[in-house]
Structures are given as structure tokens and as C-alpha cells.
Amino acid sequence: MRSYFIYSALLFVICGISTGCWNAGAGTKRASREDGPSTVYGINKAEKNPAKTDEVNSVPKTSTSTGFVANLPKGFVEPNDDAGKLLLKEYGSVFIARGGATPPKTVVFRDGGDVAAFQSSLKTSVEKIGDFSLELQASAMESLVKAVSDAHSAGLEIKPRDKDSAKRTYEETIGLWSSRVEPALKHWVTEGKITPEQAERIRSLSPFEQVPEVLRLESQGIFFAKDLSKSIIYSVAPPGASQHLSMLAFDCAEFENPKVREILAKHGWFQTVVSDLPHFTFLGVSEADLSGLGLRKTVSSGRPFWIPDL
Ligand SMILES: [Zn+2]
């Protein structure tokens, strides 16, 4: 009962102070405040509220002008809620993709319709690589095919891990998300860390609405990754936030081979999600240009990852 009270109080506080991609226009049961920008978390930016669409839709001058923020696409909607900001930090490198790539303008797609609209606006191409037919943005695929060819010349292979190693649909990302959330809810109810009512309430939410709820619980040490010891975002991407939806990501079967990683990097494919070892992101530039775009190199598991310098 006491923990429920604390949780409720925390939820109230968080809902009260955050406005942003998960609250704006969500039309949910939460007491979200949608009438103004939040300055609580540092990025002072008016929400992209439909009522304000005439405003200049670009990165605001008031943002902390790191190289990364300055290189976000024109019209990018910077999140100002905790969940959105966390995802920008952890998955955001894709948003500075160049080389003919079209990154999304939001850290999270709201639903399958949003994803389908974005995907259908792209120039894409399909190639059979290894055993699977894969679809990516055209420039990303062109570079991947060159990398595969370079690998062959060096007596190596670059193959997808599975049939969902490139493009994914929103529905596929929901399946992965639920495969982590449901077992974790059961576990934490059994452990007495959340009440059956809380679990039931989270289940009743749309996947989009579940994301900030789950991340809030994680901020209290109630983790949702497969092994329940770390954040779910290091296990699967929240629905709507996967780089695979952008068609600029590729999961490589030969990810442990440093020579393969080098060939992929030479063709603009880099690792950008720390701890997701098979996952490569098309950034479309050479490694020497990444710092200038606001990315910073961090080494984990003996390999470089390029992450937003936020
Ligand atoms: Zn991946």
C-alpha cells in the first residue's frame, strides 16, 4: 500500500511537470499539462502542438547548442519529457544520418499509421542478402550492398541475422516489446514491487502509452529487460522508437568479426546503440565526420559506438 502511494505520488509529480512527445495530444487518462513548454529538463522548446503549427518548425536557438542538436533534421521535434529525452540520448544517432538518408522527425512514432506513412514516403529498395529479402532506404541499401561486395572480396560474409534484420513494421516492434513487458509485470507483482492493479493498468494502455510508464518504474529500480537487471531499452526498442522502423538499421550475423565491422563502417554503417552488438545504423558519412555531427565515440564490449554527445 505504501509503495503504491509513493508510486502514485511520483506519477502525479512526473505527469505534472512533463510535457512532450508522450503527453502532447495523447488524449489519455493521465493528467498531462499540455499548455506550455517544460523547462524542467533543460530543453526549453515549445511543444509541437497542432494549435501552434505556424511556428517555425526548426531546432530552437534556445536549445543547448551542442553539435548534435545543431545537426538534427529541420523540423525535428525535440522531446522534452523524460522518456523521449532518454530515447534521444540512447537511440538518437540515426537522426543525424546523411548520405541520402531520411531520418524521422520524431523520437517515437505514435502508432502503426504514423510508421506506415513515414515508410511509404521514403525511397526504398529491396535486395536479397544471405537467405533473406531485405528492405531499406535506398541509400542505406546501396551502401550495404557495396559492403557485402567488399566483404566477399576479402573472403568474408555480411549477412542478416534474421528476416526482420532490416525494415520492421510497428506491429513487429510491439511483439518484441510485449515479450519483455508481460513477464516483467508478472515477476514484479510476485515480488510485491507493484500491485496487481498497477500491472493491470499498464496492460490496459496502448503500447505508446506503456513506454513512459515502464520507464518511470525503471527509474525506481523495477527493470523490464529480459534478465530484469537493466532497462528494457537495452533489451528491445520501445514500440515506435526502433531504428528499424526508419529503415536505416541492419542486424548483422557476423557482428563479432572486427574486419566486418570495419567494412561496414567504411560504407557508412556504424554501431550506435550501446549493448546492441549485432545492430548497425546507416549514418552515411565517413568515421572522420561523425564528431563534427555531434556524435561521440564510446567503447563498449571492445568496439566503438557512436552516440549523441548530449
Ligand atoms: Zn537492430
Sequence ranges of the domains in the chain: 2-81, 123-163+244-308
Q: Tell me what pLDDT residue 275 has.
A: 81
Quick: pLDDT tens for 152-206.
999 999 999 999 999 999 999 999 999 999 999 999 999 999 999 999 999 999 9
The Å distance, Cα 166 to ligand 1 centre, comes to 7
The Å distance, Cα 159 to ligand 1 centre, comes to 13
Quick: pLDDT tens for 4-45.
444 444 443 333 333 345 653 333 333 332 223 322 222 223
The Å distance, Cα 164 to ligand 1 centre, comes to 9
Q: Tell me what pLDDT residue 41 has.
A: 22
The Å distance, Cα 249 to ligand 1 centre, comes to 6
The Å distance, Cα 236 to ligand 1 centre, comes to 9
The Å distance, Cα 255 to ligand 1 centre, comes to 11
The Å distance, Cα 280 to ligand 1 centre, comes to 7
The Å distance, Cα 27 to ligand 1 centre, comes to 31
Question: Which band of pLDDT confidence, cut at 50, 70 and 90, is reported for residue 142?
Answer: very high
Question: Which band of pLDDT confidence, cut at 50, 70 and 90, is reported for residue 259?
Answer: very high
Quick: pLDDT tens for 37-81.
322 222 223 333 333 333 333 444 444 455 999 999 999 999 999
The Å distance, Cα 4 to ligand 1 centre, comes to 35
pLDDT above 80 (res 249): yes
pLDDT above 90 (res 1): no
The Å distance, Cα 232 to ligand 1 centre, comes to 14
Quick: pLDDT tens for 80-109.
998 899 999 999 999 999 999 999 999 999
The Å distance, Cα 247 to ligand 1 centre, comes to 10
The Å distance, Cα 278 to ligand 1 centre, comes to 7
The Å distance, Cα 138 to ligand 1 centre, comes to 18
The Å distance, Cα 250 to ligand 1 centre, comes to 6
pLDDT above 80 (res 130): yes
Q: Tell me what pLDDT residue 49 has.
A: 35
- Tell which wins on pLDDT, 264 or 58: 264
The Å distance, Cα 279 to ligand 1 centre, comes to 4
The Å distance, Cα 276 to ligand 1 centre, comes to 7
The Å distance, Cα 142 to ligand 1 centre, comes to 18
Question: Which band of pLDDT confidence, cut at 50, 70 and 90, is reported for residue 232?
Answer: very high
Full-model pTM = 0.78
pLDDT above 50 (res 295): yes
The Å distance, Cα 270 to ligand 1 centre, comes to 12
The Å distance, Cα 95 to ligand 1 centre, comes to 15
Report the 3 state secondary structure along the chain: CHHHHHHHHHHHHHHHHCCCCCCCCCCCCCCCCCCCCCCCCCCCCCCCCHHHCCCCCCCCCCCCCCHHHHCCCCCCECCCCHHHHHHHHHHHHHHHCCCCCCCCCECCCCCHHHHHHHHHCCCEEEEEECCEEEEEEHHHHHHHHHHHHHHHHCCCCCCECCCCCCCCCHHHHHHHHHHHHHHHHHHHHHCCCCCHHHHHHHHHCCHHHHHHHHHHHHCCCCCCCCCCCCCHHHCCCCCCCCHHHHCCEEEECCCCCHHHHHHHHHCCEECCCCCCCCEEEECCCCHHHCHHHCEEEEEECCEEEEEECC
The Å distance, Cα 144 to ligand 1 centre, comes to 15
pLDDT above 90 (res 223): yes
Question: Which band of pLDDT confidence, cut at 50, 70 and 90, is reported for residue 235?
Answer: confident
Q: What is the mean pLDDT of the chain?
A: 83
The Å distance, Cα 244 to ligand 1 centre, comes to 6
